[in-house]
Amino acid sequence: MKLLANDGIDPVGKQLLEEAGFFVDTNHIPQEELPEKLQNYDAITVRSATKVRKALIDACPNLKLIGRGGVGVDNIDVEYALERGVAVHNTPAASSASVAELVFAHLFTGVRFLQDANRKMPVDGSSKFNDLKKAYAKGIELRGKTIGILGFGRIGRETAKIAYGLGMEVLAFDVYPSVTELEITLGGGVNVTIPVKYADKDEVIAQSDFISLHVPFSEEPVIGERELALMKKGAGLVNCSRGGTVDENALLEALNTGKLSFAGLDVFDNEPTPRTDLLTHPKISLTPHIGASTNEAQERIGVELATLIINHFKTLAQ
């Protein structure tokens, strides 16, 4: 079996596959060359960069499996692949903790103005220290505040666990709520169980001091002008889910008018070329789509994906 790990795979996952008899190629093939070159492989694994659409699936009748190292499968035409007999596997649990921690990296950054301070201190810190000290003197604490979590899947639940650990209140919204309580492991091996408080989408938006998005891709923004108008004045918004789920024009307007105090963005509409007015805005904390990009998450993703692939072909062979 020949497998193309077109967006890379953790060495541990690669080793597991090779020990199971797979040939694993980690050399990246540009998207436009895939219709021709992917015909030399039985399977492909991708992250978010490579797209596996209908045309590519049609061009590669040899393809037996598509693996997605991560949660979302927006870059794969899943239903069409399944119709053509091509298996699709993803790793929904492996990166949850890493994404949730990044949410709080953005939250801590926003409430203490770190995104702006880190830009200005190298330039003005030695000459305008006291001015900057005054400018950033009105930070707030997360403890005691309410975080609204839109989308209460694995990542949303991990985000809630951190929030509870910080002493925050949590309001959750999910189209299909399935969890009524969370078990949280604290330091020293102490376990606590906390009931989840749900509300409808508008209630969550209106009652929360901060909103964190954990929703799948949608054709229309989940947070647009109407939703931003519902938010508390001075609230913060973090999007570590999908580009396109926040109306970027409406977000900039809310930041410029003071409706929102800050935003934290890991994803953008026009990746890999986000708009400049977002990238330079003093009230936006920025990361380049790195929610799952921790060493620990990548190892878990590699191991989980390798195990799924091995088990799939083992089952077919039986």
Residues 76-123 have pLDDT tens digits of 999 999 999 999 999 988 999 999 999 999 999 999 999 999 999 999
Q: Which of 210, 218, 263, 207 is nearest to 244 (CA)?
A: 218
50 has pLDDT over 90: yes
State the pLDDT at residue 1. Answer: 93
| Residues annotated as part of the active site | 242, 271, 289
State the pLDDT at residue 103. Answer: 98
Q: pLDDT tens for residues 261-276?
A: 999 999 999 999 999 9
Looking at the domain 2-92+295-316, which fold is it? Rossmann fold (3.40.50)
48 has pLDDT over 90: no
Q: Indicate the range of 166-170, 196-200, 216-220, 268-272 predicted with least confidence.
A: 216-220
249 has pLDDT over 90: yes
189 has pLDDT over 90: no
% of the chain with per-residue pLDDT over 70: 100
Measured in residues, the chain has a length of 318
Give CATH 3.40.50.720 domain extents, the chain: 2-92+295-316, 95-286
| Amino acid identity for residue 19 in this structure | E
State the pLDDT at residue 58. Answer: 97
Query: In sequence order, what are the residues at sequence separation of 6 or more whose Cβ sits closer than 8 angstroms to the Cβ of residue 65?
Result: 42, 43, 44, 86, 87, 88, 89, 309, 312, 313
Mean confidence (pLDDT) of the chain: 96
State the pLDDT at residue 93. Answer: 86
62 has pLDDT over 90: yes
State the pLDDT at residue 210. Answer: 99
Mean pLDDT, rounded, for 229-255: 97
Q: Backbone dihedral region of 205: left (phi > 0), alpha (psi from -120 to 50 degrees) or beta?
A: alpha
% of the chain with per-residue pLDDT over 90: 93
Give the Cα separation of 122 and 135 in Å (integer).
Answer: 15
Q: 188 falls in which pLDDT band (50, 70, 90)? A: confident
Q: 282 falls in which pLDDT band (50, 70, 90)? A: very high
What is the assigned CATH class of domain 95-286?
alpha beta
Whether residue 115 contacts residue 135, with contact meaning beta carbons closer than 8 Å, is answered with: no
Whether residue 147 contacts residue 169, with contact meaning beta carbons closer than 8 Å, is answered with: yes
The whole-model pTM stands at 0.90
